[in-house]
């Protein structure tokens, strides 16, 4: 085996190992925090009218009849068999696994994240390029102010404002609980605006740096059209750090849709997680958080691996 292959293999093992340790750490923390929070989960799930037999059945489903170490071992076992445990909802009557519940809502969150990513990219690239080309002018100031405002405004404020303007006031777009492509527009803008601001600022900084490079000056000296210089020679090289941010933030968008999904009444990982927290449904919360952690860590590992293959210095670092 060559030294290059050994370097690649060691790099992959290090990244996979650190990812598994991170996921295990998240599992331990979520398990611990759920059991530290005061309150009886049986009371939340069973309700006040549950019989003693129903409460006992629910307690057994949640694993509360076992010691804490055994509950954690059971949780790890459910991870190993890919069921993530039972939901234990409805007095223990709903026997669907947590994995099945997550599989039902996961596509909705993926579509929301993809739509939000599309909104962010379509808005951020022209804004960042325009700010870089018009650096130091009022256009640059306006673009920078717009980006900072989008970063500063939290989703819990922006999502209801969009709903108020475009659904309640103007009636242009569907409201909460509706389905279809049109119903995805407002949630996508709510999710994508924050990322748009980050990408626009990153695009501007990267473009400003690239526009000062020798090959850009050479392209202009050859008499190439300015549009070709900007979008073929400059933007293509300026996009490398932007692509990194897109990859790293995709996992965050999957996990950061809690507020948006609830404001717009959409099913998904975020609304499922909030429901599990409200009900103190241990298996459901643990399963959703674990899936979010796996997605986030997995996307980060893929980005690191791509950079490692592209730049040997990263593998040796």
Residues 130, 201 contacting (CB under 8 angstroms):
no
Same-domain pairing of 155 and 87: no
Same-domain pairing of 185 and 232: yes
Whether residue 315 lies inside any domain: the answer is no
**pLDDT tens sequence across 265-276:** 888 888 888 888
What is the Cα–Cα distance from 130 to 231, expressed in whole angstroms? Answer: 11
Mean pLDDT of 304-314: 59
Residues 199, 246 contacting (CB under 8 angstroms):
yes
Q: What pLDDT band is residue 84 in, cutting at 50, 70 and 90?
A: confident
Same-domain pairing of 86 and 110: no
**pLDDT tens sequence across 33-66:** 877 776 667 766 766 666 777 777 777 777 777 7
Whether residue 307 lies inside any domain: the answer is no
Whether residue 302 lies inside any domain: the answer is no
Same-domain pairing of 210 and 233: yes
**What DSSP assignment string belongs to 163-192?**
HIIIIIIS--S--TT--SSGGGHHHHHHHH
Whether residue 184 lies inside any domain: the answer is yes
Same-domain pairing of 111 and 155: yes
Whether residue 119 lies inside any domain: the answer is yes
- Tell me, what CATH number does 251's domain have? 1.10.3720.10
φ, ψ dihedrals at 86, nearest 5°: -95, 155
Same-domain pairing of 112 and 245: yes
C-alpha 138 chain-centroid distance: 34
| Residue 193: both structure tokens together | 């605006």
pLDDT of residue 317 exceeding 70, the answer is: no
pLDDT of residue 312 exceeding 60, the answer is: no
Whether residue 1 lies inside any domain: the answer is no
Q: What pLDDT band is residue 193 in, cutting at 50, 70 and 90?
A: confident
pLDDT, mean over the chain: 77
CA dihedral sign of residues 215, 217, 220, 225: positive
Domain boundary among 78, 98, 118: 98
**pLDDT tens sequence across 198-232:** 888 888 888 888 777 777 777 777 777 777 777 77
Same-domain pairing of 116 and 72: no
Same-domain pairing of 115 and 178: yes
Q: How many domains does the chain have?
A: 2
State what percent of residues in the chain have pLDDT above 90. 0
Domain boundary among 81, 98, 115: 98
Classify the phi-psi angles of 213: left when phi > 0, otherwise alpha if psi is within -120 to 50, otherwise beta: beta
Question: Residue 241 is part of which domain span?
Answer: 106-279
Mean pLDDT of 177-183: 75
Q: Tell me the HSE value of 80 on the side-chain side, using a 13 A CA sphere.
A: 6
Same-domain pairing of 20 and 111: no
| Residue 133: both structure tokens together | 């080309």
Same-domain pairing of 248 and 167: yes
Same-domain pairing of 123 and 239: yes
What local confidence, expressed as pLDDT, does residue 8 receive? 65
Mean pLDDT of 15-31: 81
Same-domain pairing of 63 and 152: no
What local confidence, expressed as pLDDT, does residue 48 receive? 62
What local confidence, expressed as pLDDT, does residue 92 receive? 43
**Angle CA(269)–CA(275)–CA(278) in degrees, nearest 5?**
140
> Looking up tokens 């210089």, which residue turns up?
229
Mean pLDDT of 252-264: 74
What local confidence, expressed as pLDDT, does residue 176 receive? 78
What local confidence, expressed as pLDDT, does residue 180 receive? 73
Whether residue 158 lies inside any domain: the answer is yes
What local confidence, expressed as pLDDT, does residue 308 receive? 59
**pLDDT tens sequence across 99-158:** 888 888 888 888 888 888 888 888 888 888 888 878 878 887 887 787 777 766 777 777
Domain boundary among 98, 130, 162: 98
What is the Cα–Cα distance from 206 to 131, expressed in whole angstroms? Answer: 11
Whether residue 309 lies inside any domain: the answer is no
Per the DSSP assignment, residues forming a β-bridge with 276 are none
């Amino acid at each position: 085996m060559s030294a290059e292959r050994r370097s690649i293999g060691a790099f992959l093992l290090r990244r996979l190992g650190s990812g598994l340790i991170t996921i295990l750490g998240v599992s331990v923390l979520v398990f611990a925090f759920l059991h530290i929070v005061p309150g009886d989960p049986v009371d939340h799930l069973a309700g006040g009218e549950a019989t003693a037999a129903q409460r006992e059945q629910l307690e057994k489903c949640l694993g509360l009849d076992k010691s804490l170490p055994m509950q954690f071992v059971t949780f790890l076992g459910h991870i190993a068999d890919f069921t993530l445990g039972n939901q234990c909802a409805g007095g223990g009557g709903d026997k669907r696994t947590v994995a099945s519940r997550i599989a039902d809502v996961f596509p909705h969150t993926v579509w929301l994240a993809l739509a939000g990513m599309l909104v962010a990219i379509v808005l951020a690239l022209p804004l960042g390029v325009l700010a870089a080309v018009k650096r130091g002018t009022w256009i640059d100031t306006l673009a920078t102010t717009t980006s900072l405002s989008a970063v500063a405004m939290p989703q819990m404020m922006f999502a209801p404002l969009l709903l108020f303007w475009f659904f309640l006031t103007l009636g242009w777009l569907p409201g909460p609980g509706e389905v279809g492509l049109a119903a995805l527009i407002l949630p996508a803008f709510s999710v994508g605006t924050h990322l748009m601001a980050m990408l626009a600022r990153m695009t501007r900084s990267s473009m400003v740096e690239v526009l000062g490079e020798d090959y850009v000056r050479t392209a202009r000296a050859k008499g190439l059209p300015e549009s070709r210089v900007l979008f073929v020679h400059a933007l293509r090289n300026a996009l490398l750090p932007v692509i990194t941010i897109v990859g790293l933030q995709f996992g965050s968008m999957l996990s950061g849709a809690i507020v948006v999904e609830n404001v717009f009444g959409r099913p998904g990982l975020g609304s499922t997680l909030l429901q599990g927290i409200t009900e103190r449904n241990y298996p459901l919360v643990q399963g959703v958080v674990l899936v979010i952690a796996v997605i986030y860590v997995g996307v980060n590992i893929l980005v690191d691996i791509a950079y490692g293959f592209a730049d040997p210095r990263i593998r040796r670092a």
